[in-house]
Amino acid sequence: MVEGTGVRCVFCETTTGKRSGEHLLRRWFNGRIVDIGRGVIRRQIEPGRDDVFTTMKISPFDVPINDVCKDCNESWLNAMEGRVGDLIVDLANFDTDTIPKAAARDLAAWCFKTALVRTCMDRNRGWLAPQQFFAELYATRDAPVCPARVRVHVARCEDPSVYPIGRSTVGFLQPVHGGNHGVDDQEQIHLVTFNVGFFSFLVSMATSAKADRMVVRGMKGFRQALSGRMALLWPYEFPGDLVLQVPPLSAIELRYTSALIHGLNGNPDPPLTGFAPDDS
């Protein structure tokens, strides 16, 4: 445990609390999820620039996130994980491919929290998610829920040996209209993909209604290109059913998440072709 150093907790914004032992993935999962053992692979995507890959020779259970205080980590964040931990393990190990409707809100909030924490790894690149999203999740800490303009899509990775635990992508767009960069630094889209065994999820965070509409259009085209094989977990897409079937995606299809991120920069229906697959 690290004593408070004046670093602000990204959730409650305290500067006096002790830093926690928060990790990219909690060690509670270690040993319960089949780990291919290739370490953490990070990918950062920004339109107009080459993708940046970083391979960390470390388990995601050992990647420290020093932006969360002890009180947050050991209270509401721990409780959140406890509510859906067994379901995450089952999805990650492909012991199930369904999500009960009753667990959807908690699982979506966990995916959102994980995406937020993932962006902390890219703080030095200026890609930390806007504070409003951390604050909005913290405001609902007694019953965490994804705020407006946050969308969570899920899929089942058919080959986790290609997309091991901790495999993730961060994309950042600013702004999202007209292809003109630097016009409005308050209008942003952050996209995070993350892989936990067979369970993959994509979280989009839009800072304005206009940005969120761009995400909706982009995801519509992206899902059509994937024949619908990426399900919307949040907001609900449970048309009268009690469970959500998590659709399978091949490793090749998962590699083209960058097509969505690049496509949002000006193409409302981003194709799957034209982007080199990630062979790292």
Contact by Cβ (8 Å): 194, 91: no
Strand partners, 2: 19
Q: What is the pLDDT of residues 122-149, one digit of tens each?
A: 777 777 888 999 999 999 999 999 999 9
Q: For residue 107, which phi and psi values (nearest 5 degrees)?
A: -65, -40
Q: Where are the alpha helices (DSSP H) in the chain?
A: 70-74, 76-92, 104-120, 131-139, 209-225, 251-255, 257-263
Query: Pseudo-torsion of CA 131, 220, 192, 257, nearest 10°?
Result: -150
Residues in contact with 90: Cβ distance below 8 Å, sequence separation at least 6, in sequence order: 96
The predicted-structure confidence for 195-237, as pLDDT tens digits, reads as follows 888 898 989 998 888 888 888 877 777 777 666 678 889 997 6
Among left, alpha and beta (phi > 0; psi -120 to 50; other), residue 94 is: left
Indicate whether this model's pTM tops 0.85. no
